[in-house]
Amino acid sequence: MSLNPDIAALLDMVQAGTESGARMPFPQLTPTQARADFEASSPLLDADPPPLDYERTLALPMRDGMEIEARLYAQRTPDPDNPIPVLLYMHGGGFVVGSLDSHEPLCRAIASRYGAAVLSVAYRLAPEHKFPQAFEDCADALVWVGQQGPTVGLDCARIAVGGDSAGGTLAAALAIAARDDRSLPKPCLQVLAYPGLSSWQRSPSHDRYGKGYLLERETINWFFRQYLRDDADRMDWRFAPLAAPDLTGVAPALLLLPEYDPLVDEGRDYAARLKAAGVAVDLRIYPGMIHEFLRMGNVVGEALQAQDDIAHALTRAFERQDRP
């Protein structure tokens, strides 16, 4: 399918801004500047967040004695006597940009659609915090949900993990870790929206869509330089889940991939690896879409459809957990 016309118009605006100097690509900015730019642009793309009855900010303890912030969203106030299932959500941003605020509309939308809770995690960012800090923060957040979630009304028997872009990478890595680490609760679903999964950019989709489709090869390389300590980190499955030698026994997966994304081929490859390992996979390719489309509710209706798809998958997964 051809590029969605509304997406094409957005890309034209981005290109015009770059050519005029009004917009600077991330590799030409400092991480601090890139974060400010990302935060400023996010509200322009996403639909207004729906109202919810419950929102709470939490401080989650980490293994190094520090705390990170997390934000809990739900349609109703969670009750320890009647706990609700939860999606542990990791925001995108190449491990360098993104925040609870940039992804609040998306997390609110998901919580409003499936009627349970979303816990969004403010894992620490690079380059101040190099690999594997983001993964360790998210793993510690998952431990917290399993151990302390019931005290705030979360059902630790019904947990999903999810994220977009780098957040999808982290969710996929958590699903692998939870299979092997008894300290981690086992998620019943992993929701992976256009995740980065490969160590290298050597697929046809990287060649085809690596320039001019919002997420560019140069930007990906810049993210990697900020996050990784050295090239050896590239082969660690906590950064590149496709490097995991075995995917048997990980949680069922929903993969949401835009057609015009440099990462789409590695997403397809991961779906094939999961299926070959006997893991249930729901692979969805969104024609005419680009990276980040899930947070573009003000631009394309497909963003809202993908949010509905996530909500339906979560509902089904949690219902399966309820069955004897």
Q: What is the CATH number of the domain that holds 222?
A: 3.40.50.1820
Q: Is 261 a catalytic residue?
A: yes
Catalytic-labelled residue, pool 91, 103, 206, 291: 291
Q: Is 206 a catalytic residue?
A: no
Which residues form the domain of 48? 5-322
Catalytic-labelled residue, pool 46, 137, 261, 309: 261
Residue 20: what pLDDT?
A: 93
Report the chain's terminal Cα–Cα distance, integer Å: 43
CA 54 to chain centroid, in Å, comes to 22
Q: How many domains does the chain have?
A: 1
Residue 112: what pLDDT?
A: 95
Both tokens assigned to 321: 């957990």
Both tokens assigned to 178: 């939870």
Q: Is 120 a catalytic residue?
A: no
Phi, psi at 146, each rounded to 5°: -65, -35
Residue 50: what pLDDT?
A: 82
Instruction: Give kind and range of the element (H or E) at residue 85.
Output: strand 84-90
Residue 202: what pLDDT?
A: 87
Residue 323: what pLDDT?
A: 56
Q: Are 78 and 92 in contact (CB under 8 A)?
A: no
pLDDT in tens, the chain (324 residues): 799 999 999 999 999 999 998 899 999 999 999 999 999 999 989 988 888 999 999 999 999 999 999 999 999 999 999 999 999 999 999 999 999 999 999 999 999 998 889 999 999 999 999 999 999 999 999 999 999 999 999 999 999 999 999 999 999 999 999 999 999 999 999 999 999 999 888 899 999 999 999 999 999 999 999 999 999 999 999 999 999 999 999 999 999 999 999 999 999 999 999 999 999 999 999 999 999 999 999 999 999 999 999 999 999 999 988 755
Round to whole Å and give the CA distance between 211 and 217. 6
- The bridge status of strand 67-74 relative to strand 54-61 is antiparallel
- Residues 6 or more apart in contact with residue 111 via CB below 8 angstroms: 52, 73, 74, 75, 117, 118
Catalytic-labelled residue, pool 165, 198, 199, 203: 165
Residue 186: what pLDDT?
A: 97
